[in-house]
Chains A and B, each alone.
Chain A
Amino acid sequence: MDSRIDFYPTHEHSGYKLRPGKPYPFGASLVPGGINFSIFSRHATSCTLVLFEKHASKPLVEIPFPHSFRIGNVYSMVVFDLDCENIEYGYRMDGPNDPANGHRFDNSKILLDPYAKAIGGRDIWGKTPDWNEVFQYRGRLVFEDFDWEDDHALETPIEDLVIYEAHVRSFTRHPSSKVKFPGTYAALVEKIPYLKQLGINCIELMPVYEFDEFENSRPNPSTGEMLYNYWGYSTVGFFAPKSGYAATGKFGMQVDELKNMVKHLHKNGIEVMLDVVFNHTAEGNEKGPTISFRGVDNSTYYMLTPEGYYFNFSGCGNTLNCNNPIVRNMVLDCLRYWASEYHIDGFRFDLAAILGRDPRGAPLPNPPLLETLAFDPVLGKCKLIAEAWDAGGLNMLGSFPAYGRWAEWNGKFRDHVRKFLRGDKGMVGKMGQRVQGSPDLYDRNGRGPTASINFVTCHDGFTLYDLFSYNGKHNEVNCENNRDGSNDNFSWNCGHEGDSESSEVRWLRHKLVKNAAVLLIISQGVPMMLMGDEIGRTQKGNNNTYCHDSDLNWMDWSLVEKNTDLLRFFRNMIAFRRAHPVLRSPTHFQNRDYVGSGVADITWHGVQKWNADWSNESRILAFMLDGRHAKGGAAKDNTIYVAVNSYWESLSFSLPDPPSGKKWHLFANTGVEYPGDICIPGMEIPLQNQNDFLVGPRSAIILLAR
């Protein structure tokens, strides 16, 4: 190394040895003998590197980039002989402070590098920051030397996934979790056996990019409880993991701890998907703090009105300018980094419709960012999932530009299943589409059922148990006069609002939770469930718990015992799905027989076999999946019959004949108390009566031909 002259300093400042840096890659990179610092700004007039010792209040040194170190719009410099373990860095940018023209430069601010790979300043969750500190979010260097052994992304076919949406802290923070380091990546590793037993094979983590839980934090005036930016849908740094989620965050080892978690999950066959928030940042609107992008190059990074204010398509104050080529490249660099350095299997894009808007906010017919991500070689095997709407009213459900890659959170599945299960009329025809993987939305442009991420609940809204315990939201403790959170919950309280001592009410709620599990798991597409729904987790009727670091969000592990019937039902349903390829078709049903079995791939029934009731008053859905058509005829499977009675009285269903030589066996019947409600897959019980089945009120059955 020493023989290479390009690693020798050519300049000096205050005793620090320098040489012109490489413009790429952006960020701070280790190079022999030093660190290469590189940052973009189109409109800055000068830039200064500010170095700190770790945790120090005052800078160690400020090194202006010599004029000759700028190439185009990139400032780059190598600083030699720095102690990488002990350095934190930021920038000062000079330039016009002219908001009307989009510029908000302020050289009194020390700015976080948009490409910082680790961020200090919020090392320990909930530790009140010193707001007088001039440098709040402090860029740090990371070593990319983690020992991955042979680990790599699992590349599970998307139709085979069962996704579990979870919040890192909430999953293990409750004292009942009994883990060594509650609320951390390390604690999640301790709970992998639980996830494996449940049977899920993908965990989708709510944001783990560095955010500030103290953003807009405030005490509840009535209770004094501190309200936080708890969920983390407000990014400070896109390349850095949330330090407060790492037990080792105080040692600056959050990168290693998160990677270790991914490695362990992979070893157990569980993919890791990240919920990424590229629609806005933590800087808010013009009244928000200057952390990074606003001071680096405001008019590049944000969508601005002609008057220089922030467009607010995110509902969070600002909108990242994702289809600006600079920002687009940052998003791409970021996802490539997480896919390659953290072995992440897929990404779910929060309010992704924003990513399809042009810099003035108009929807683009062919959004370059979405196309770029779809065709990127590094992301070539990653799952890409869109929340296909935004807070600005753009809803692209079914029309999100897919390029053969993108799947969507299917909001219609959520709403229709909820309405059908609570007994709304006029839902049967819609449910016919939902259980097929929503061909009405996706059977075009080559999109199959796997474009549909099916869910009944997610972090936004009621938990599954609350869906059947509350008619309305109860968000008073959010201190927003119960105005926040959706009003369109399509929920039903089963006759009593909230907790009930009535065994009848509890029985009904458990039955409806199981019915939801049946429809979610049995439908074509990709099922996603919310953390804790398998054990009846409640948020006490709060449908927007974004600000609570409390048991409103924390998973209460004592429910594993209390609601053991629900847990067993979910486990067996998931095992059933994984055992039967006919439930996991990569292509849409054709509603015809194309393998010569004598029956169509899917057939529709009612209380009379072969006679589905699609009428407005109907509240029953019954269908048969022909096992000989599994995976388009490529796999052989059992034939499965499903009947869901959302009517409030029992109904007798005449059963279609099973394939020749087979008999109907009962796998699940939610109208029966635990433990008769569900079997272990493979141990289904033969029916005495092969012709008719009395399905209880608001109950579902699953039969299997064997």
Chain B
Amino acid sequence: MALNISMDVNNGVAKIVLEGEVDASVSDKFKEAVEKAARQKPNRLVMFMDKLTFMASAGLRILIFAKQKMGADVNIYVIGASGPVLNTLKMSGFDRSVYVQASYVD
């Protein structure tokens, strides 16, 4: 399954919506969205993953990249991750580096 990504930045909040699967073949697309968001210097990055069904290590690497790229002052939120995606975040310990939430209110 392909990966669909949309991104926008409003009032200093960058939002990335991911839909489908993140594996090595499409991780560059994800990385580009993070880079694009980073260029606008947001103070918060929110990634919606409720429609994400799978994330391989390549996807996780992009999350780590996002954290490093944005800097320590920018909080990163992962919203709606469930099933294998949430498991991957937890088992690799990344759930401790970002805010993992079921939902997000502006």
* Residues of chain A within 8 A of B24, CB atoms compared: 83, 85-86
Whether A251 and B93, one on each chain, are in contact in the complex, defined by CB atoms closer than 8 angstroms, is no
> A247's contact among B27, B60, B91, B97, by CB below 8 Å, is which?
B91
Give the size category of B's interface with A. 20 to 34
Whether B91 and A147, one on each chain, are in contact in the complex, defined by CB atoms closer than 8 angstroms, is no
* Residues of chain A within 8 A of B97, CB atoms compared: 147, 149
Q: Known interface pairs A85-B56, A86-B24, A251-B57. Does A145 touch B90 (Cβ–Cβ under 8 Å)?
A: no
Q: Known interface pairs A85-B24, A85-B57. Does A251 touch B67 (Cβ–Cβ under 8 Å)?
A: no
* Residues of chain A within 8 A of B92, CB atoms compared: 248, 253, 256-257, 260
Cα separation A22 to B15 with both chains bound (whole Å): 41
**Residue from B87, B88, B93 having most chain A Cβ neighbours under 10 A:** B93
Cα separation A486 to B88 with both chains bound (whole Å): 42
When C-beta atoms are compared, the residue in chain B nearest to A263 turns out to be: B93
Taking the nearest CB of chain A, how far is it from the CB of B67, in angstroms?
7
Instruction: Confirm or deny: A143 has a beta carbon within 8 angstroms of a beta carbon on chain B.
Output: yes
> B93's contact among A83, A145, A247, A259, by CB below 8 Å, is which?
A259
Q: Known interface pairs A85-B24, A85-B57. Does A186 touch B68 (Cβ–Cβ under 8 Å)?
A: no
* Residues of chain B within 8 A of A257, CB atoms compared: 91-93
Cα separation A180 to B87 with both chains bound (whole Å): 10
Whether B65 and A256, one on each chain, are in contact in the complex, defined by CB atoms closer than 8 angstroms, is no
Whether A260 and B93, one on each chain, are in contact in the complex, defined by CB atoms closer than 8 angstroms, is yes
Chain B, residues 4-21, CB within 8 Å of chain A (1/0): the string is 000000000000000000
Whether A85 and B65, one on each chain, are in contact in the complex, defined by CB atoms closer than 8 angstroms, is no
Taking the nearest CB of chain B, how far is it from the CB of A603, in angstroms?
50
When C-beta atoms are compared, the residue in chain A nearest to B65 turns out to be: A145
Instruction: Confirm or deny: B58 has a beta carbon within 8 angstroms of a beta carbon on chain A.
Output: yes
Q: Known interface pairs A145-B61, A147-B64. Does A247 touch B87 (Cβ–Cβ under 8 Å)?
A: yes
Chain B, residues 59-75, CB within 8 Å of chain A (1/0): the string is 01100110110000000
> A145's contact among B58, B64, B87, by CB below 8 Å, is which?
B64
* Residues of chain A within 8 A of B60, CB atoms compared: 253, 256
Instruction: Confirm or deny: A252 has a beta carbon within 8 angstroms of a beta carbon on chain B.
Output: yes
Interface residues of B in 26-60 (CB under 8 A from A): 27, 56-58, 60
Cα separation A14 to B105 with both chains bound (whole Å): 53
Cα separation A252 to B93 with both chains bound (whole Å): 15
When C-beta atoms are compared, the residue in chain B nearest to A250 turns out to be: B56
* Residues of chain B within 8 A of A246, CB atoms compared: 91
Whether A253 and B64, one on each chain, are in contact in the complex, defined by CB atoms closer than 8 angstroms, is no
Whether A253 and B93, one on each chain, are in contact in the complex, defined by CB atoms closer than 8 angstroms, is no
Taking the nearest CB of chain A, how far is it from the CB of B69, in angstroms?
11
Interface residues of A in 236-274 (CB under 8 A from B): 246-248, 251-253, 256-257, 259-260, 263-264
Whether B94 and A253, one on each chain, are in contact in the complex, defined by CB atoms closer than 8 angstroms, is no
* Residues of chain A within 8 A of B96, CB atoms compared: 147, 149, 263
When C-beta atoms are compared, the residue in chain A nearest to B61 turns out to be: A143
* Residues of chain B within 8 A of A147, CB atoms compared: 64, 67, 93-94, 96-97
Cα separation A83 to B27 with both chains bound (whole Å): 11
Instruction: Confirm or deny: A181 has a beta carbon within 8 angstroms of a beta carbon on chain B.
Output: yes
**Residue from B27, B88, B91, B97 having most chain A Cβ neighbours under 10 A:** B91
* Residues of chain A within 8 A of B93, CB atoms compared: 146-147, 256-257, 259-260, 263-264
Q: Known interface pairs A86-B24, A264-B93. Does A145 touch B56 (Cβ–Cβ under 8 Å)?
A: no
Taking the nearest CB of chain B, how far is it from the CB of A181, in angstroms?
7
Taking the nearest CB of chain B, how far is it from the CB of A477, in angstroms?
33
Cα separation A441 to B17 with both chains bound (whole Å): 65
Cα separation A147 to B57 with both chains bound (whole Å): 14
Taking the nearest CB of chain B, how far is it from the CB of A142, in angstroms?
9
* Residues of chain A within 8 A of B27, CB atoms compared: 85
When C-beta atoms are compared, the residue in chain A nearest to B23 turns out to be: A85
When C-beta atoms are compared, the residue in chain A nearest to B58 turns out to be: A85
Interface residues of B in 78-95 (CB under 8 A from A): 87-88, 90-94
> A253's contact among B25, B57, B67, B68, by CB below 8 Å, is which?
B57
* Residues of chain B within 8 A of A143, CB atoms compared: 61, 64
Cα separation A115 to B93 with both chains bound (whole Å): 25
Q: Known interface pairs A85-B27, A85-B56, A85-B58. Does A253 touch B65 (Cβ–Cβ under 8 Å)?
A: no
> B91's contact among A83, A86, A146, A253, by CB below 8 Å, is which?
A253
Cα separation A143 to B92 with both chains bound (whole Å): 13
Q: Known interface pairs A145-B64, A147-B97, A256-B57. Does A186 touch B90 (Cβ–Cβ under 8 Å)?
A: yes
> B88's contact among A86, A149, A253, A264, by CB below 8 Å, is which?
A253
* Residues of chain B within 8 A of A145, CB atoms compared: 61, 64-65, 68
Cα separation A379 to B43 with both chains bound (whole Å): 40
Taking the nearest CB of chain B, how far is it from the CB of A207, in angstroms?
21
**Residue from B57, B68, B94 having most chain A Cβ neighbours under 10 A:** B57
Cα separation A181 to B84 with both chains bound (whole Å): 12
Cα separation A536 to B9 with both chains bound (whole Å): 59
Taking the nearest CB of chain B, how far is it from the CB of A472, in angstroms?
43
* Residues of chain B within 8 A of A186, CB atoms compared: 90-91
* Residues of chain A within 8 A of B57, CB atoms compared: 85, 248, 251-253, 256
Interface residues of A in 171-200 (CB under 8 A from B): 180-181, 184-186
Taking the nearest CB of chain B, how far is it from the CB of A88, in angstroms?
12
Cα separation A252 to B56 with both chains bound (whole Å): 8
When C-beta atoms are compared, the residue in chain B nearest to A185 turns out to be: B91
Taking the nearest CB of chain B, how far is it from the CB of A551, in angstroms?
25
When C-beta atoms are compared, the residue in chain B nearest to A187 turns out to be: B91
Interface residues of A in 483-502 (CB under 8 A from B): none
* Residues of chain A within 8 A of B94, CB atoms compared: 147, 256
Whether B61 and A248, one on each chain, are in contact in the complex, defined by CB atoms closer than 8 angstroms, is no
* Residues of chain B within 8 A of A252, CB atoms compared: 56-57
Interface residues of A in 63-99 (CB under 8 A from B): 83, 85-86
Taking the nearest CB of chain B, how far is it from the CB of A306, in angstroms?
48
* Residues of chain A within 8 A of B91, CB atoms compared: 181, 184-186, 246-248, 253, 256-257, 260
Cα separation A149 to B58 with both chains bound (whole Å): 21
Interface residues of A in 205-261 (CB under 8 A from B): 246-248, 251-253, 256-257, 259-260
- Known: A149-B96, A186-B91, A260-B91; 5 extra A-B contacts, CB below 8 A, are A85-B56, A86-B25, A147-B93, A251-B88, A252-B56
- Could you list which residues of chain A lie within 8 angstroms of chain B, going by C-beta atoms? 83, 85-86, 143, 145-147, 149, 180-181, 184-186, 246-248, 251-253, 256-257, 259-260, 263-264
Q: List 19 A-B contacts (CB under 8 A).
A: A85-B57, A145-B68, A147-B96, A181-B87, A185-B91, A247-B87, A248-B57, A248-B88, A248-B91, A248-B92, A252-B57, A253-B57, A253-B60, A256-B91, A256-B92, A256-B94, A257-B91, A263-B93, A264-B93
- Could you list which residues of chain B lie within 8 angstroms of chain A, going by C-beta atoms? 24-25, 27, 56-58, 60-61, 64-65, 67-68, 87-88, 90-94, 96-97
Those 7 A-B pairs whose CB atoms lie nearest each other, nearest first: A260-B93, A85-B24, A256-B92, A186-B91, A85-B58, A147-B97, A253-B57
